[in-house]
Amino acid sequence: MNKALLAGSLILVFSLGVLAQEHTSDNARPPVDPGSWVRLNSEEGRFSVLLPELAKDKVETKSSPHGPYTTHLFMAKTARGIFLVGWVDYAPGFNFSVQSELEANRDNFVKGLKATLLSNRNITMNGHPGLEFTAETPEVAFISRVYVVGRRPYQLIAGTYKGQDDSDNVGRFFDSFQITSR
């Protein structure tokens, strides 16, 4: 498998690992009022999504045999879980297989967290190919959707801490994601 295809998941896996460790010290955090969610409009990312709190873009550029690539990640936490959205911009000359990109994001997410893959299905959003999967670790249950829009893969992740029910917010998060331009 091509390591350049792994870029998107690697930054997400790192961030999720940090958040999972922080959860044990964050149990006193008050629940987020669903009415207080904020819309993130990323002009650079060409998308919008609802998040439980303001999130800043964590940007990282790395080199690969196929040229540089840049990852972007927005992350927000609640008392019940975490919400992430990110994308990757590859070097203009790098061509990838859409299905391989979708699967690489899934496989590396699961492997990076030492999670168990529970389900997997192909999806679409406004004609754009995607993959939805669920996975879990001993502490967190994850739902992720990966879409490829043109040459840009997007990954959305909702993680709910075990013993918590955050299905309304998870649905709200995924339902709110929109591509705003190409």
Residue 125 C-alpha from the chain's centroid: 15
pLDDT, position 29:
46
Task: Supply angle C-alpha 124, 127, 132, rounded to 5.
Answer: 10
d(CA 63, CA 28): 40
The percentage of the chain sitting over the pLDDT mark of 90, rounded to a whole number, equals 76
Give this prediction's pTM.
0.85
Walk me through the domains of the chain, giving residue ranges and CATH numbers. 3-179 (3.40.1000.10)
Question: Could you tell me the pLDDT band of residue 25, with boundaries at 50, 70 and 90?
Answer: very low
What pLDDT digit, counting tens, does each position of 116-127 carry? Answer: 999 999 999 999
Name the packing angle between helices 98-112 and 7-23 (round to 10°): 30
Pairing assessment for the beta strands 116-125 and 178-179 based on DSSP bridges:
unpaired
Neighbouring-strand partners of residue 157: 84, 144
Look at residue 170 and tell me whether its pLDDT is greater than 50: yes
pLDDT, mean over the chain = 86
pLDDT, position 172:
95
What pLDDT digit, counting tens, does each position of 66-111 carry? Answer: 899 999 999 999 999 999 999 999 999 899 999 999 999 999 999 9
CA-nearest of 4, 14, 19, 134 to 79 is 19
Question: Could you tell me the pLDDT band of residue 12, with boundaries at 50, 70 and 90?
Answer: low
